[in-house]
């Protein structure tokens, strides 16, 4: 075991570096990712070390970036695309959802699309509109795409490598508020399966479930609840499509209660889908309905109001209290 403490951002950088060292077909594409190293410096020094034919600065044209990557994939490359901010992905939405997601099925499986699209998403950075959104449900709703979101530096390091090795297109959602979070990375562990959810805190009274940056908030809420005599189990979804329901259902059946929390809007969201599935498949084990805590169904507000819009530990604990009251 080789443990190294590093920020989430550097873990991603190290994971990309390892993937490029292991496979010469891997190349990086995006706006300002070369000499600058990207807005969040995720690709810092990679162009210096691998050259500008493997780390490509592109024009500001997201649709063109994805379309070019699709063509490169058909000639044997494995592109990794960086979208600068979550709200900037929509100019490429047509290429992603009507071309990339469907090409393998359209060709009856004779071609694969090993493309990773990295999207920094979510709030808590005090930015303006189109820089703090959570669009993961759009992509999880689209057959043909796989969607994942790490919540720790260790997962960031391993999941980006697993995503690059996949022969399917992966939407890799990076919680940008965690870029500066430090944590231990085991550089020698066996990679955790990319599409596996995981219990990150055990408990007996209520199951708390979420993904990305919200996992940290759930752990905070669980610690507070524990001090008040309520034992909360926390499950990190990790893979948003497909969802690994095993650990989620096992936990819900054990505790009899579940709260799902997310930064994204609540209506027709990942939380909606997981709540409905747990209600269907674990109904007779539940002592209360599955409750959801989410961002409000409004456009993302100005930065000074993000603390009101985004769920915090207090809103999660209020849901826990409601669940226990049934």
Q: In the predicted model, is pLDDT for residue 304 greater than 90?
A: no
The domain segmentation of the chain, as residue ranges, is 3-186, 198-325
Across the chain, what does the average pLDDT equal? 95
Q: Which residues carry out catalysis?
A: 131
Between residues 37 and 125, the one the model is more confident about: 37
Residues 192-213, mean pLDDT to the nearest whole number = 96
**Cα–Cα distance for residue pair 43/27, rounded to 1 Å:** 11
Q: In the predicted model, is pLDDT for residue 128 greater than 80?
A: no
Q: Which residues are CB-contacts of 270 (< 8 A; sequence separation ≥ 6)?
A: 136, 137, 140, 211, 237, 240, 262, 264
Q: In the predicted model, is pLDDT for residue 166 greater than 80?
A: yes
What is the dotted CATH code of the domain comprising 3-186?
3.40.50.970
CATH of 198-325 among 3.40.50.720, 3.40.50.2000, 3.40.50.300, 3.40.50.920: 3.40.50.920
Please tell me the predicted confidence (pLDDT) of residue 109. 92
Please tell me the predicted confidence (pLDDT) of residue 31. 97
198-325 shares the fold of 3-186: yes
Distances (CA, A) of 236 to 42, 110, 197: 23, 34, 6
Q: How confident is the model at residue 131 (pLDDT cuts 50, 70, 90)?
A: confident
In tens, the pLDDT along 35-73 reads: 999 999 999 999 999 999 999 999 999 999 999 999 999
Residues found in the chain: 326
Report whether the peptide linkage leading into residue 305 is cis, meaning its omega lies within 30 degrees of zero.
Answer: no
Region for residue 316 given its phi and psi (left: phi exceeds 0; alpha: psi -120 to 50; beta: otherwise)? alpha
């Amino acid at each position: 075991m080789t443990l190294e403490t590093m920020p989430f951002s550097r873990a991603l950088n190290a994971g990309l570096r390892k993937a490029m060292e292991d496979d010469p077909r891997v190349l990086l594409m995006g706006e300002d990712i070369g000499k600058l190293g990207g807005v969040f410096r995720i690709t810092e020094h990679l162009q210096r070390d691998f050259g500008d034919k493997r780390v490509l600065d592109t024009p500001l044209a997201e649709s063109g970036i994805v379309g070019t990557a699709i063509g490169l994939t058909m000639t044997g490359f494995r592109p990794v695309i960086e979208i600068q901010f979550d709200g900037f992905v929509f100019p490429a939405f047509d290429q992603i959802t009507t071309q990339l997601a469907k090409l393998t099925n359209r060709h009856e499986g004779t071609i694969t699309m090993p493309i990773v699209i990295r999207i920094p998403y979510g709030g808590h950075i005090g930015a303006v509109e189109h820089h703090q959104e959570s669009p993961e449900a759009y992509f999880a709703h689209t057959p043909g795409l796989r969607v994942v979101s790490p919540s720790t530096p260790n997962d960031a390091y391993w999941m980006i490598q697993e995503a690059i090795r996949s022969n399917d297109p992966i939407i890799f959602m990076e919680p940008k508020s965690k870029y500066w979070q430090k944590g231990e990375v085991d550089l020698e562990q066996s990679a955790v399966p990319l599409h596996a959810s995981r219990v990150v805190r055990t408990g007996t009274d209520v199951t708390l479930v979420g993904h990305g940056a919200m996992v940290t908030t759930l752990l905070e809420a669980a610690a507070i609840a524990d001090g008040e005599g309520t034992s909360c189990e926390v499950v990190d979804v990790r893979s948003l499509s497909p969802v690994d329901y095993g650990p989620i259902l096992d936990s819900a059946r054990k505790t009899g209660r579940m709260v799902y929390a997310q930064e994204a809007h609540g209506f027709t969201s990942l939380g909606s889908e997981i709540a409905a599935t747990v209600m269907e498949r674990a109904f007779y084990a539940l002592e209360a309905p599955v409750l959801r805590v989410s961002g409000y169904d409004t456009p993302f507000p100005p930065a000074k109001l993000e603390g009101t819009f985004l769920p915090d530990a207090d809103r999660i604990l209020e849901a826990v209290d409601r669940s226990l009251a049934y």
